[in-house]
């Protein structure tokens, strides 16, 4: 789910960034370009961790004096795969009874039929999901749950699709065996 990924990117620096702080300027440009963004082949970039190599490509733009650099760097990414499981907190219930679960830097959208294999029903008057036999806790905003990824495609809001496989009775219960 979490990976260190080696990547390469050609960056264009304006003349005012070609100075003794060039490494700092390149790092800032990489951070603003990649951190918090989803790349289909890598997942969501959480942090640029290391600049490994900076090479000038020998291209200077004659119109504005900017210089092109090939930068090899390492990034820390989250790229959940189908069937990965992780904890999250219910942050909302949509008007169509979908659950929105916050899982750190990601959000997970859960269809009502994907809550513990359909054993919960939505009660609109109380805005909560109730277990059909009353043997498990209700699900409301703030409930801690375990989410299983059912699609590894991100959308523009860093949202994935998943199902709830466990509802915790309190926020400290993070061991799947409990």
pLDDT at residue 146 in the model: 92
pTM of the entire predicted model = 0.75
Which pLDDT tens digit goes with each residue over 93-104? Answer: 887 888 999 988
pLDDT of 43 > 80? The answer is yes
Question: For residue 2, what is the enclosing H or E element?
Answer: strand 2-13
What number is the average pLDDT over the span 16-41? Answer: 91
Percent of the chain with pLDDT over 90: 41
Average pLDDT of the residues in 67-96: 91
* Run of H or E including 27: helix 22-34
Q: Above 80 in pLDDT, residue 77?
A: yes
The predicted-structure confidence for 140-163, as pLDDT tens digits, reads as follows 999 999 999 988 777 667 788 888
* pLDDT value at residue 116: 81
Q: Is the pLDDT of residue 176 over 60?
A: no
pLDDT at 173: 47
Burial of 23 (0-12, 13-18, 19+ CB in 10 A): exposed
What's the mean pLDDT in 167-172?
Answer: 67
Which residue, among 120, 159, 111, has the nearest Cα to 139 in the 3D structure? 120
Terminus-to-terminus CA distance in the chain, angstroms? Answer: 22
Domains, the chain, ordered by start: 2-78 (3.30.1490.120), 85-167 (2.40.50.140)
């Amino acid at each position: 789910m979490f990976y260190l990924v080696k990547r390469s990117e050609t960056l264009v620096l304006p003349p005012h960034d070609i100075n003794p702080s060039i490494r700092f300027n390149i790092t800032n440009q990489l951070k603003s370009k990649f951190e918090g963004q989803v790349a289909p082949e890598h997942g969501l970039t959480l942090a640029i961790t290391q600049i490994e190599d900076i090479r000038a490509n020998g291209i200077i733009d004659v119109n504005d004096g900017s210089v092109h650099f090939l930068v090899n760097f390492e990034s820390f990414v989250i790229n959940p795969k189908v069937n990965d499981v992780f904890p999250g907190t219910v942050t909302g219930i949509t008007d169509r009874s979908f659950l929105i679960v916050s899982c750190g830097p990601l959000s997970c959208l859960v269809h009502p039929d994907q809550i513990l294999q359909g054993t919960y029903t939505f009660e609109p008057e109380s805005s909560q999901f109730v277990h059909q036999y009353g043997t498990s806790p209700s699900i409301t905003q703030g409930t801690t749950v375990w989410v299983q990824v059912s699609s590894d495609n991100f959308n523009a809001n860093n949202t994935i699709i998943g199902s709830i496989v466990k509802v915790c009775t309190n926020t400290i219960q993070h061991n799947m065996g409990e």
